[in-house]
Copies of this chain bind each other. A is one copy, B any other.
């Protein structure tokens, strides 16, 4: 009873302080909610698979190789390194908060994380395995056989179960509690004056037309180079490759700006090395606006407040292969 009274007093004091004003409910970007873990066992299995390089032909490339959870869920390269050191065609998007996107891949060719997860495994310039081989590898490993059974309630490993578990893990990779989120929730002191000015400029210049929602992006496909064409040597055509409609040419999924301080370099071709470059180019090409150096610096200061709490978990230990497990083929010719 006494504890309740003290709690009520503390709460009351907090609510009247400047640091806990009313939440800002009418902003185009909303706070990220902490992920809800529906099935911890499924997530745990998915985590193992996410870190398991045996899903690749070489035995060396795991999901985490390009979506490194030590580095903002990205590889911080312009384009990724795939099997046999092949150069990937496009910048690896962060896996963080990817569950909030309308679709997966830059061109949205996968409807959801489960559909996405099967792609790189079988892509000859990424993990370069096949679904059959990957399933065969996991089926040979007693530790996985037991864990899939425990998680799914029946015997069996197939690509549906594999990608379902990976997607369940990825759904937990949400990064709440950034300074910007605390500010959105009413903590005025969470952002300094420059950061607040940067946000107001970001919002009122129209950046939020595309970078909106809890992920500050990921809610729509938009043309890269709306006002002025984007010049790049990268051959990716974006949405047109999926729809076959030439008017979709250079339409890409708007990337999330959450944790953007960690997910350099920027754009689908990775050609913007810094946030300053990215902001300058976006302002000119998408909004027809030449941000001054100070304006750019303000927006960049705001963008850095979008770095949230990174997923915290123990590095998984993978069940070992056994004598019958198909061998990795790092150096054999295709």
CB within 8 Å of B: which residues of A?
A: 51-54, 58-60, 65, 68-72, 75-77, 81, 84-85, 87, 261-262, 264, 273-274, 276, 310, 312-318, 320-321, 323, 327-328, 330-331
Q: Cβ of A317 and Cβ of B310 under 8 Å apart?
A: yes
Q: Cβ of B328 and Cβ of A76 under 8 Å apart?
A: yes
Q: Given A51-B70, A314-B315, A320-B261, do A77 and B59 touch, yes or no (CB 8 Å)?
A: yes
Q: Cβ of B315 and Cβ of A69 under 8 Å apart?
A: yes
Q: Cβ of B318 and Cβ of A70 under 8 Å apart?
A: yes
A276 partner residues in chain B, CB cutoff 8 A: 323
Smallest Cβ-Cβ distance to A62: which chain B residue: B70
A274 partner residues in chain B, CB cutoff 8 A: 323
Q: Given A76-B59, A312-B314, A315-B315, do A81 and B320 touch, yes or no (CB 8 Å)?
A: no
Q: Given A317-B310, A318-B70, A320-B264, do A75 and B59 touch, yes or no (CB 8 Å)?
A: yes
Return 16 A-B CB contacts under 8 Å, by A number: A52-B70, A53-B68, A54-B76, A60-B65, A60-B81, A70-B316, A72-B320, A76-B328, A81-B330, A84-B85, A85-B85, A87-B331, A262-B320, A312-B314, A313-B315, A315-B315
Q: How far is the CA of A76 from the CA of B72 in the complex (A)?
A: 27
Q: How far is the CA of A70 from the CA of B70 in the complex (A)?
A: 15
Q: Cβ of A71 and Cβ of B318 under 8 Å apart?
A: yes
Q: Cβ of A70 and Cβ of B273 under 8 Å apart?
A: no
Distance in angstroms from A142 CB to nearest chain B CB is 12
A314 partner residues in chain B, CB cutoff 8 A: 312-315
Distance in angstroms from A69 CB to nearest chain B CB is 6
Q: How far is the CA of A274 from the CA of B323 in the complex (A)?
A: 6
Q: Cβ of A273 and Cβ of B327 under 8 Å apart?
A: yes
Smallest Cβ-Cβ distance to A300: which chain B residue: B323
Q: Cβ of A317 and Cβ of B70 under 8 Å apart?
A: yes
Q: How far is the CA of A76 from the CA of B53 in the complex (A)?
A: 10
Smallest Cβ-Cβ distance to A323: which chain B residue: B274
Distance in angstroms from A263 CB to nearest chain B CB is 9
* Other contacts beyond A54-B76, A70-B317: 20, CB < 8 A: A51-B70, A52-B70, A53-B68, A53-B71, A59-B75, A59-B76, A60-B75, A60-B77, A60-B81, A70-B316, A71-B320, A76-B328, A77-B328, A77-B330, A84-B85, A85-B85, A87-B331, A264-B321, A313-B314, A315-B315
A59 partner residues in chain B, CB cutoff 8 A: 75-77
Smallest Cβ-Cβ distance to A65: which chain B residue: B60
Q: How far is the CA of A303 from the CA of B57 in the complex (A)?
A: 29
Q: How far is the CA of A51 from the CA of B71 in the complex (A)?
A: 10
